[in-house]
């Protein structure tokens, strides 16, 4: 008998902090609209340029440049819904995107995996992706599944579909597509999702997948990106825009400057989508970071990232849009001090800022390497934050003065009735080391990597994901096969 996967844990919106004063927020908004109006964005597809011109944008066709008047952006923000449900194949795993909860997403998309058995870094495979999904299925902290790493052993043109296949067969949770970025592949994705959901209307009613498109910073949407977003929106699949500028390289040198550019890129995507499919469910996404000035690498985890996370989530709240904020994704190469520090602060920043989706569980080395150990460690951080934000655990009972009186000065609470009744509210870490020095030594002085690896093995050895209905997997494979033979991804509606 398959053990039932635990329900998804979300962080309630009980604590909140703002990185931007209202004046600063207004200035960011104003400069963003200036950028969208004066500079605009590059849009790769000619037909898309024409469609946006039709919808009210100012388009220079020869330069493929699309400029958005202020009113067009403001109208789009009015059209986009604040709340909706990201459904899941297993309805228990549905997520209410309502501004009241923060969910943790397995982030992507790494090209390599740190093998938890051999300790070696190597190219990631479809099997690895499936294993990561099975682990995520077992962890109550994980709510949303991106493609954490590429199925690099799958054919390139159908890689996203193979990834989706590995995801549907290994987890019942909501899947968010990040790798299907052309309209053809997006149609293949929608076709598979319809089979799993039980038809076009079923998928529209219960979107068990969502997607997002990325800008190419600075200020570009490649040919296919907005077209793919339209495919998803037409099918009733929520589609957001997640931008990933790197300050000093693909974004301005200041964090606030990168914030303005990020904001412009996200709003350009949302404005385009709302013009083409009014009222489409969408979200505001940012994984902005800075370039390390010596190595040229994306830093992923410094104070600028924390500011960009908090400010981006605040802007999304201001616009009345759900947010997906790059969180965790340490720059470190192993689950060490740097990883714990960066991800602990990053998790706190996102929850305080009110992010709806916190994206990043399991990534190392600035999102280039995936680690199952890091996934369970990030889940532990999220779990700690869950206790911090859980108002019931932190609330004060009326009678506490009486309890304190009954113990009195110099007494102890160890075996007090109040202790016995309330002690189980205390957070019990799974991966923190609280052993005595001697026990720690006799256990071989395990570090976070070893403790986490042990938990990964234990979860993978017992957890079975909820199976697909009979015949569904065959149908998925048939769609992939047809796609690979060149007759898939047709416009069927």
Min separation Cβ 397 and another protein, Å = 17
Q: Which stretch binds another protein (CB under 8 A): 17-25, 39-47, 235-243, 407-415?
A: 407-415
Sign of CA dihedral 203, 204, 209, 211: positive
Q: Which stretch binds another protein (CB under 8 A): 94-102, 314-322, 376-384, 414-422?
A: 414-422
Q: Choose, by CB under 8 A, the member of 2, 118, 395, 436 that binds another protein.
A: 436
| Distance (Å, whole) CA 330 – CA 287 | 12
| Distance (Å, whole) CA 236 – CA 209 | 10
Nearer Cβ to another protein (253/420): 420
Nearer Cβ to another protein (84/387): 387
- Asked whether position 419 contacts another protein by CB under 8 A, the answer is yes
DSSP assigned state of 82: S
Min separation Cβ 421 and another protein, Å = 9
Name the CA radius of gyration of the chain, rounded: 23
Going by C-beta distance under 8 Å and a sequence separation of 6 or more, which residues neighbour residue 414?
A: none
- Asked whether position 396 contacts another protein by CB under 8 A, the answer is no
| Distance (Å, whole) CA 413 – CA 190 | 58
- Asked whether position 408 contacts another protein by CB under 8 A, the answer is no
- Residue in the structure block whose two tokens are 């609470």: 413
Nearer Cβ to another protein (337/440): 440
Nearer Cβ to another protein (417/478): 417
Nearer Cβ to another protein (22/415): 415
- Asked whether position 433 contacts another protein by CB under 8 A, the answer is no
Q: Which stretch binds another protein (CB under 8 A): 117-125, 224-232, 317-325, 419-427?
A: 419-427
- Token pair recorded at residue 256: 């606030």
Number of chain residues interacting with another protein (CB under 8 A): 14
Min separation Cβ 412 and another protein, Å = 6
- Asked whether position 414 contacts another protein by CB under 8 A, the answer is yes
- Asked whether position 439 contacts another protein by CB under 8 A, the answer is yes
CB atoms within 10 A of CB 21: 9
Q: DSSP letter string over 330-381?
A: -S-SSSSHHHHHHHHHHHHHHHHHT-SEEEEETEETTTTEE-HHHHHHHHHH
> What is the chain's length?
493
* Region 211-240 residues binding another protein, contact defined as CB under 8 A: none
Min separation Cβ 443 and another protein, Å = 13
Residue 183 φ/ψ region, left for φ over 0, alpha for ψ in the -120 to 50 degree band, beta for the rest? alpha
Q: Choose, by CB under 8 A, the member of 38, 118, 409, 437 that binds another protein.
A: 437
- Are 177 and 205 in contact by the 8 Å Cβ rule? The answer is no
Nearer Cβ to another protein (7/436): 436
Nearer Cβ to another protein (336/416): 416
| Distance (Å, whole) CA 151 – CA 131 | 12
Min separation Cβ 413 and another protein, Å = 8
Q: Choose, by CB under 8 A, the member of 405, 438, 487, 492 that binds another protein.
A: 438
| Distance (Å, whole) CA 438 – CA 433 | 12
- Asked whether position 404 contacts another protein by CB under 8 A, the answer is no
DSSP assigned state of 8: P
Q: Choose, by CB under 8 A, the member of 420, 430, 433, 467 that binds another protein.
A: 420
Min separation Cβ 446 and another protein, Å = 17
Min separation Cβ 434 and another protein, Å = 10
Min separation Cβ 142 and another protein, Å = 24
Nearer Cβ to another protein (408/471): 408
Of 333, 270, 266, which is closest to residue 297 (Cα–Cα)? 333
Nearer Cβ to another protein (416/484): 416
User: Crossing angle of helices 303-319/22-38, nearest 10°?
Assistant: 80
| Distance (Å, whole) CA 13 – CA 317 | 12
Q: Which stretch binds another protein (CB under 8 A): 163-171, 300-308, 331-339, 413-421?
A: 413-421
User: Crossing angle of helices 70-79/22-38, nearest 10°?
Assistant: 120
- Are 134 and 106 in contact by the 8 Å Cβ rule? The answer is no
- Asked whether position 409 contacts another protein by CB under 8 A, the answer is no
CA distances from 6 to 92, 93, 369 (A): 9, 9, 27
Nearer Cβ to another protein (438/470): 438
- Asked whether position 415 contacts another protein by CB under 8 A, the answer is yes
Interface residues with another protein (CB under 8 A) are 412-417, 419-420, 423-424, 436-439
């Amino acid at each position: 008998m398959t053990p039932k996967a635990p329900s998804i844990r979300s962080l309630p919106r009980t604590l909140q902090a703002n990185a931007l004063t209202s004046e600063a927020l207004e200035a960011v908004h104003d400069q963003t609209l200036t950028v969208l109006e004066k500079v605009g964005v590059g849009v790769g597809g000619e037909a898309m340029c024409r469609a946006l011109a039709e919808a009210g944008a100012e388009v220079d066709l020869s330069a493929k440049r699309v400029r958005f008047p202020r009113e067009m952006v403001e109208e789009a923000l009015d059209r986009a819904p604040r709340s909706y449900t990201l459904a899941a194949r297993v309805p228990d795993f549905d997520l209410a995107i309502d501004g009241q909860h923060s969910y943790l997403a397995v982030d992507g998309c790494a090209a390599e995996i740190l093998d938890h058995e051999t300790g070696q870094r190597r190219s990631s495979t479809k099997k690895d992706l499936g294993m990561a999904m099975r682990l995520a299925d077992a962890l109550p902290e994980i709510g949303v599944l991106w493609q954490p790493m590429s199925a690099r052993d799958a054919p390139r043109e159908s890689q996203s579909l193979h990834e989706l296949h590995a995801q549907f067969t290994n987890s019942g949770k909501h899947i968010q597509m990040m790798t299907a970025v052309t309209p053809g592949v997006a149609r293949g994705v929608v076709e598979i999702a319809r089979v799993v959901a039980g038809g076009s209307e079923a998928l529209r009613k219960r979107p068990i997948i969502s997607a997002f498109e990325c800008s190419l910073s600075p200020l570009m949407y490649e040919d296919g990106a907005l077209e793919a977003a339209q495919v998803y929106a037409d099918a009733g699949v929520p589609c957001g825009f997640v931008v990933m500028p790197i300050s000093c390289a693909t974004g301005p040198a200041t964090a606030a400057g990168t914030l303005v550019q990020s904001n412009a890129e996200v709003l350009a995507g949302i404005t385009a989508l709302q013009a083409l499919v009014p009222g489409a469910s969408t979200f505001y996404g940012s994984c902005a970071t800075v370039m390390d000035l010596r190595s040229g690498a994306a830093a992923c985890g410094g104070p600028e990232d924390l500011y960009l996370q908090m400010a981006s989530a605040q802007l999304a709240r201001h616009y009345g849009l759900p947010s997906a904020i790059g969180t965790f994704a340490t720059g470190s190469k192993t689950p060490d001090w740097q990883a714990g520090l960066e991800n602990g602060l990053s998790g706190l920043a996102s929850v305080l800022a009110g992010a709806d989706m916190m994206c990043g569980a399991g990534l190392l080395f600035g999102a280039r390497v995936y680690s199952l150990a890091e996934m369970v460690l990030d889940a532990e951080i999220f779990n700690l934050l869950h206790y911090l934000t859980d108002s019931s655990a932190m609330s004060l009972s009326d009678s506490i003065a009486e309890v304190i009186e009954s113990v009195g000065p110099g007494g102890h609470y160890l075996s007090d009735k109040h202790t016995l009744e309330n002690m189980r509210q205390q957070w019990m870490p799974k991966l923190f080391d609280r052993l005595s020095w001697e026990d720690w030594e006799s256990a071989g002085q395990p570090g976070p990597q070893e403790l986490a690896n042990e938990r990964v093995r234990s979860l993978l050895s017992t957890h079975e994901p909820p199976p697909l209905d009979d015949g569904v997997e065959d149908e998925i494979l048939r769609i992939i096969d047809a796609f690979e033979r060149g007759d898939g991804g047709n416009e069927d509606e």
